[in-house]
Amino acid sequence: MQNFDFYNPTHIIFGKGRIADLAKVVPADARVLLLFGGGSIKKNGVLDEVHAALAGRTFHEFSGIEPNPSYENLMQAVELVRKEKIDFLLAVGGGSVIDGTKFIAAAANFEGDPWSILEKRGSNVTSALPFGSVLTLPATGSEMNNGGVVTRKSLKAKMAFSSKHCFPLFSILDPTKTFTLPTRQIGNGVVDAFAHVMEQYMTYPADAPVQDRFAEGILQTLIEEGPKALATPDNYEVRANIMWCATLALNGLIGAGVPQDWATHMVGHELTAQYDLDHAQTLAIILPSMLRVRKESKRAKLLQYAARVWNLTSGDEDTRIEAAIQKTQTFFEQMGVKTRLGDYGLKADSIDTILTQLGAHKMTTLGERRDVTLEVSRKVLELSL
Ligand code: NZQ
Ligand code: ZN
């Protein structure tokens, strides 16, 4: 096992009716800014519950944080924070709202050009406003991690950052609030969480059996529960299990002490920035091809994955590996997320554009062995057509 630091201060408040607990966890004298997206929380009653819990507090609102939140929009919120002397942020929504809030929290305290937070991936963040979240879409794990992804639309640059100052103080996870998710977002969430586990598990053996078994347990639970969420959307237990899986998939636990990949995510971010695909759509396209192209360096873990997650134990090694990758791809399709560039209208001419952007963002030595060069990314994209 590799050396590691594991630090996670986020208080998780899980279950039905827990939004009322905001009254206990938002500081009573805080000047709060409530941040949310395009209005789903108005339609499904979440905003009313938040308002009720914050009754008597001083709060302002900033709405319109878009999926794949934009730097341009988030900077408007930073201005509001400064103008209204806000000292506590409350994100209510999915990963985009929570990521956007993390950036606002860091940028509000930042001296200098806030874009450099993204350019330096968060390493220059020395403080952030305190914030909490009410999660409405299980997918990203943003509710219990210190990372965020922000897009500068004018540059078509989608960049990730992280900082130990950007953990939510608390996150409220009420699975009943996910009942109103559109089918597309249910599928996206399950695929994203699945991909997060794979980025931390599907590398090379590191003598970390408990991390491996946690990871395999999350993958198997997503495989079992994901299709049930599509078939029986009002099933509380199914939603609760998916919600907790998504949080555990990216809260640092399964990634401690093991090598990590993240090449699929980095190529995927360029696809979103250029062509506006949903985050999980990009992962469903890239992950199967990434595994096929890098089969040799991932061979041992691919065989372990085939046996333990998909019960594939007979046939020669290459047959088992291909069957496991095919089952992964079929699972994404079963969740309603298409797995080919062509399914989204993208053709071979998009590949050079993506490679140019990867180069511009210094994404030229990706993966757990830093061997995913632009040539490897080209092969992956070609195989994804
Ligand atoms: O904007 P509203 O109206 O709220 O609608 C949202 C949005 O259109 C809707 N939605 C959310 N909860 C709902 C709901 N609709 C009905 N009922 C509900 N309960 O869903 C749509 C998508 O929301 P979004 O927040 O964009 O989705 P997601 O949670 O998948 O977040 C994606 C973003 O997170 C980043 C992605 O790159 C992308 O920008 N990621 C963040 C990570 C992190 N912080 O660790 C890791 C991930 O790999 C990922 O990169
Ligand atoms: Zn992701």
Beta bridge partners of 170: 11
Dihedrals phi, psi of 384, to nearest 5 degrees: -90, 0
Residue 81: closest CA among 33, 36, 125: 33
Tell me the CA–centroid distance for residue 197 and ligand 2, in Å. Answer: 10
Among 44, 70, 92, 140, say which to mutate for ligand 1: greatest number of ligand atoms within 8 Å of CB.
Answer: 140
The confidence score (pLDDT) of residue 84 equals 97
Question: pLDDT digits over 109-165, tens only?
Answer: 999 999 999 999 999 999 999 999 999 999 999 999 999 999 999 999 999 999 999
Nearest ligand atom owner, CA of 278: 1
Q: What is the pTM of this model?
A: 0.98
CB 283 within 8 A of CB 249: no
Neighbouring C-beta atoms of residue 9, cutoff 10 Å: 11
Question: pLDDT digits over 32-78, tens only?
Answer: 999 999 999 999 999 999 999 999 999 999 999 999 999 999 999 99
**Chain centre distance of CA 343:** 22
The confidence score (pLDDT) of residue 191 equals 99
Residue 162: closest CA among 90, 101, 250, 102: 102
| Confidence bin at 194 (pLDDT 50/70/90) | very high
Average pLDDT, the chain: 98
**Residues lining ligand 1, Cβ inside 6 A:** 37-41, 44, 67-68, 93-97, 99, 136-137, 139-142, 145, 147-149, 177-178, 180-181, 185, 188, 192, 250, 265, 279
Question: pLDDT digits over 361-381, tens only?
Answer: 999 999 999 999 999 999 999
Question: pLDDT digits over 257-272, tens only?
Answer: 999 999 999 999 999 9
Angle at 190 between CA 239 and CA 277, to 5 degrees: 130
Alpha-carbon distance of 115 to 268, in angstroms, equals 21
Tell me the CA–centroid distance for residue 135 and ligand 1, in Å. Answer: 10
Which residue puts its alpha carbon closest to atom 17 of ligand 1?
A: 181
The ipTM value here is 0.99
% pLDDT > 90, the chain: 100
Minimum-distance ligand 1 atom for the alpha carbon of 151: 39
Dmax over CA atoms of the chain, in Å, equals 66
